[in-house]
A and B are shown apart, each in its own frame.
Chain A
Amino acid sequence: MSGGGPPRKRNFKIEAFKHRVELDPKYAERTWKVLEHAIHEIYNHNASGLSFEELYRSAYNMVLHKYGEKLYDGLQNTMTWRLKEISKSIEAAQGGLFLEELNAKWKDHNKALQMIRDILMYMDRTYVPSFHRTPVHELGLNLWRDHIIHSPMILSRLLDTLLDLIHRERMGEVINRGLMRSITKMLMDLGPAVYQDDFEKPFLAVSASFYSGESQEFIECCDCGNYLKKAERRLNEEMERVSHYLDAGSEAKITSVVEKEMIANHMHRLVHMENSGLVNMLVDDKYRDLGRMYALFRRVPDGLSTIRDVMTSYLRETGKQLVMDPESLKDPVEFVQRLLNEKDKHDKIISVAFGNDKTFQNALNSSFEYFINLNNRSPEFISLYVDDKLRKGLKGATEEDVEVILDKVMMLFRYLQEKDVFEKYYKQHLAKRLLSGKTISDDAERSMIVKLKTECGYQFTSKLEGMFTDMKTSQDTMLDFYAKKSEELGDGPTLDVHILTTGSWPTQPSPPCNLPTEILTVCEKFRAYYLGTHNGRRLTWQTNMGTADIKATFGKGQKHELNVSTYQMCVLMLFNNADGLTYKDIERDTEIPASDLKRCLQSLACVKGKNVLRKEPMSKDISEDDTFYFNDKFTSKLVKVKIGTVVAQKESEPEKQGDPPTG
């Protein structure tokens, strides 16, 4: 059709194809046959002679000319027929080769499927969506599933083979994991439902009964520690199995089966097992076994709470025995040390084996709180423990060590319900330490006060701090006193005064006694000095608290320096003026209260090695009819002799120092 007008554009005709395509069914049938042949060739591994383009074009033509349905149905039928043949060959496979044959044919099928889909791409793109057919690839998988996997002969055999292999591996054999991997992957490719229904569910059921049996066997013959080792091993095995040839989604399911069968079902029996259960592990510090138990029990409901409960009742029981044991009550320091040891032991267990689990910490704390308070002397004993440490126990220890010990003691302190009882005793013990100068380290003392303050607040420690202040002030006062008054005092006895603020210190009422004249003089000088500088105060001598160092000369001229209490000093000084005195004389002259006087005399006359006085009669006890003589024949290897006072009660009084020499 050419004509007028500019010949710029040439007229075009529409001619789709060079080769005329006929639209009749016979052509369609022929075209289909070409494709059908190709499909067979593909399955026969004979594709090399085929031309992709030609096949693609054939399919293209069919679809274009509305023969899509014929093509699709033809495909479906051909593949189905093919798969039925394959199914027979798989069924025929002997014994061990069954899985391999299945796997090999699956690989072939996949490859063929891809090729087929490629050449039928046009149909897949256009016909399939429009007519709501299953896409080629999916169709191929479904047909495989229906005709191979779900073929009755194959399905049960497949499942049995897989389960048998897994069982054998559990019993120690080595199996072909790669093959297993391919098979399970195949099942997953066919759809999660296939994997789950045809494999996973039966797998889990069989595993449950396997582990149920095995756990029963183990628990009859193993102790707790070994059983747990086996359980742990099986658990790890299953996880490893999943990672190698099962679908990842199975992991949680199979581990939960093992946990239930091996752990949850036997929890109580394990924990309470005689000679090897939880309590034994705790006693023997079996960290690894405990750690294993913790890790395993954690996985099951109520696992950890079971451990915790048994541990708690064990702690309470042993703690209770500890605090109620009459033996340990005899030695307070030992008592507290044992408590600290228990705490340390269990702290370590919780930290090493239980991963510092807070709930276990809490259980430990509550148990300690429970039994520590069962003994109402616990506060006193803890204070005595600290007293011991601050007097001698921590001698030579580094600052760090001191902190560590004090912190541990504080932990016990926190458990006490009667903290004010502790404070009362602590005050007494502290006073004694301060006044006798027997504390090893001021820093350590102060550190303890700080800790108590942090724990209980300022009110709790204000008096204790007052005591420290008094000590310091007294030192300064004495320096000043001697600086100002040394001429006046001359050669008199040397005085060392501690001025205690009433209210801060635990004092007992002190009835006055008659001090020797020499002492009295210097004491009054001090009083005058002090009240001169401090208005509105009142001083009371605590004669029941002091000490004295006296020089004494005995029969053969041997000199000794005696360290005695104030009362003892008053008694001894009387013998400067008389060789023998009756009890009543002494009582009248010193005015010391009767019970104190008796103890005083007892320590001076009745204690071996310390008998600077001689008593008539030589009985053990002091009676009001006794007479006392200065013991010329006294001997001692030591030059300085300390004469303590016989103790009447556990709580001994704090002392006040005084140093009058006498001749």
Chain B
Amino acid sequence: MLGKGDHHQPQEEEEDTGGVVKLISAEGFEFVIDKKAAMVSNTLRNMLTSPGGFSETRQGEVRFPEIPTHILEKICQYFYWSLHYSSGKETAEFPIEPEITLELMMAANYLDT
């Protein structure tokens, strides 16, 4: 795990949703990812496309007081994995360490992803 600060993920796909969004974990770690990756989560997609200008869209960042850093990191990895393999060209398993499974599931449920 890297220390505090920006944690850039490799950019797998083109940025055609224009821009990035910052996800902040419970401990305050900031993950900057492409909007396209974030939209893998239906909840995040709704959030980012909802009309009416909630504070998140205006500031371009979302805080998750309930999601621990290591889970959030895993989730970001999942977003990119999903984008990469959604084209169906290759398949690979998404590695999940057993000890984080439950937390990951709950976060996934929360984020509808």
Give the segment of B1-9, B13-21, B41-49, B76-84 that binds chain A. B41-49
Instruction: Decide if B87 is an interface residue (CB 8 Å cutoff).
Output: no
Contact A53 B52 (CB under 8 A): no
Contact A53 B64 (CB under 8 A): yes
Contact B51 A60 (CB under 8 A): no
The 8 A CB mask of A1-35 against B (1 = contact, 0 = none) is 00000000111101011110000000000000000
Contact A16 B53 (CB under 8 A): no
Contact B51 A9 (CB under 8 A): no
The 8 A CB mask of B47-69 against A (1 = contact, 0 = none) is 10011111111100011111010
- Answer whether A48 and B112 are a contact pair too, CB < 8 Å, given A12-B100, A121-B42: no
- Answer whether A49 and B55 are a contact pair too, CB < 8 Å, given A10-B99, A56-B43, A122-B112: yes
- Answer whether A42 and B52 are a contact pair too, CB < 8 Å, given A16-B106, A122-B112: yes
Instruction: Decide if A226 is an interface residue (CB 8 Å cutoff).
Output: no
Question: How far does the Cβ of B21 sit from chain A's closest Cβ, in whole Å?
Answer: 12
Contact A60 B110 (CB under 8 A): yes
Instruction: Decide if A114 is an interface residue (CB 8 Å cutoff).
Output: yes
Contact A52 B50 (CB under 8 A): yes
Contact B58 A57 (CB under 8 A): no
- Answer whether A118 and B47 are a contact pair too, CB < 8 Å, given A10-B99, A47-B52, A51-B54: yes
Complex Cα–Cα for A57 and B42 (A): 14
Residues of A close to B54: CB separation below 8 A: 47-48, 50-52, 115
Contact A14 B47 (CB under 8 A): no
Question: How far does the Cβ of B25 sit from chain A's closest Cβ, in whole Å?
Answer: 10
Contact residue among A18, A50, A52, A111 (Cβ-Cβ distance under 8 Å from B26): A18
Which residues of A107-135 are within 8 A (CB) of B? 111-112, 114-115, 118-119, 121-122, 125
Residues of B close to A48: CB separation below 8 A: 52-55, 58
Residues of B close to A14: CB separation below 8 A: 102-103
Complex Cα–Cα for A138 and B66 (A): 31
Contact B66 A118 (CB under 8 A): no
Interface centre among A11, A18, A118, A122 (most CB of B within 10 A): A118
Question: How far does the Cβ of B41 sit from chain A's closest Cβ, in whole Å?
Answer: 11
- Answer whether A52 and B55 are a contact pair too, CB < 8 Å, given A10-B99, A118-B50: yes
Complex Cα–Cα for A93 and B50 (A): 30
Contact A125 B51 (CB under 8 A): no
Contact residue among B42, B47, B110 (Cβ-Cβ distance under 8 Å from A52): B47
Question: How far does the Cβ of A415 sit from chain B's closest Cβ, in whole Å?
Answer: 73
Question: How far does the Cβ of A390 sit from chain B's closest Cβ, in whole Å?
Answer: 81
- Answer whether A114 and B56 are a contact pair too, CB < 8 Å, given A10-B99, A16-B106, A18-B65: no
The 8 A CB mask of B74-103 against A (1 = contact, 0 = none) is 000000000000000000000000111011
Contact residue among B51, B63, B98, B103 (Cβ-Cβ distance under 8 Å from A53): B63
Complex Cα–Cα for A9 and B112 (A): 28
Give the total of B residues in contact with A, Cβ under 8 Å.
28
Contact B56 A111 (CB under 8 A): no
Contact A121 B112 (CB under 8 A): yes
Residues of B close to A18: CB separation below 8 A: 26, 65-66, 68
- Answer whether A114 and B51 are a contact pair too, CB < 8 Å, given A121-B42, A121-B46, A125-B112: yes
Residues of B close to A112: CB separation below 8 A: 52
Which residues of A45-66 are within 8 A (CB) of B? 47-53, 56-57, 60
Query: What residue of chain A has the Cβ atom nearest to residue B97's Cβ?
Result: A9
Complex Cα–Cα for A47 and B58 (A): 11
Complex Cα–Cα for A49 and B53 (A): 9
Complex Cα–Cα for A42 and B52 (A): 8
Question: How far does the Cβ of A5 sit from chain B's closest Cβ, in whole Å?
Answer: 15
Question: How far does the Cβ of A216 sit from chain B's closest Cβ, in whole Å?
Answer: 52
Contact A52 B56 (CB under 8 A): yes
Residues of B close to A111: CB separation below 8 A: 51-52
Contact A115 B112 (CB under 8 A): no
Complex Cα–Cα for A47 and B55 (A): 8
Contact A53 B53 (CB under 8 A): no
Residues of A close to B63: CB separation below 8 A: 51, 53
The 8 A CB mask of A49-88 against B (1 = contact, 0 = none) is 1111100110010000000000000000000000000000
Residues of B close to A9: CB separation below 8 A: 98-99
Residues of B close to A47: CB separation below 8 A: 52-54
Question: How far does the Cβ of B1 sit from chain A's closest Cβ, in whole Å?
Answer: 14
Interface centre among A10, A14, A16, A42 (most CB of B within 10 A): A16
Complex Cα–Cα for A57 and B62 (A): 12
Complex Cα–Cα for A233 and B90 (A): 62
Residues of B close to A50: CB separation below 8 A: 54-55
Complex Cα–Cα for A11 and B98 (A): 10
Query: What residue of chain B has the Cβ atom nearest to residue A46's Cβ?
Result: B52
Contact A19 B65 (CB under 8 A): yes
Question: How far does the Cβ of B68 sit from chain A's closest Cβ, in whole Å?
Answer: 7
Query: What residue of chain B has the Cβ atom nearest to residue A9's Cβ?
Result: B99
Question: How far does the Cβ of B28 sit from chain A's closest Cβ, in whole Å?
Answer: 12
Contact A12 B99 (CB under 8 A): yes
Question: How far does the Cβ of A73 sit from chain B's closest Cβ, in whole Å?
Answer: 23
Residues of A close to B58: CB separation below 8 A: 48
Residues of A close to B99: CB separation below 8 A: 9-12
Residues of B close to A122: CB separation below 8 A: 43, 110, 112
Contact A115 B50 (CB under 8 A): yes
Query: What residue of chain A has the Cβ atom nearest to residue B51's Cβ?
Result: A111
Residues of A close to B100: CB separation below 8 A: 12
Interface centre among A9, A18, A19, A49 (most CB of B within 10 A): A18
Query: What residue of chain B has the Cβ atom nearest to residue A48's Cβ?
Result: B53
Contact B66 A17 (CB under 8 A): yes
Residues of A close to B53: CB separation below 8 A: 47-48
Question: How far does the Cβ of A341 sit from chain B's closest Cβ, in whole Å?
Answer: 73
Q: Report which A residues bind B (CB closer than 8 A).
A: 9-12, 14, 16-19, 42, 47-53, 56-57, 60, 111-112, 114-115, 118-119, 121-122, 125
Q: Report which B residues bind A (CB closer than 8 A).
A: 26, 42-43, 46-47, 50-58, 62-66, 68, 98-100, 102-103, 106, 110, 112
Which are the 5 A-B pairs with shortest beta-carbon distances? Answer: A52-B54, A118-B46, A47-B52, A118-B50, A12-B99
A52-B54, A57-B110 provided; 18 other pairs, C-beta below 8 A?
A12-B99, A16-B103, A18-B68, A19-B65, A42-B52, A47-B54, A48-B52, A51-B63, A52-B47, A53-B56, A56-B43, A57-B65, A57-B66, A60-B110, A115-B50, A115-B51, A115-B54, A121-B42
11 A-B pairs with C-beta separation under 8 A: A12-B99, A18-B65, A47-B53, A52-B54, A52-B62, A56-B43, A57-B65, A57-B110, A114-B51, A118-B46, A118-B47
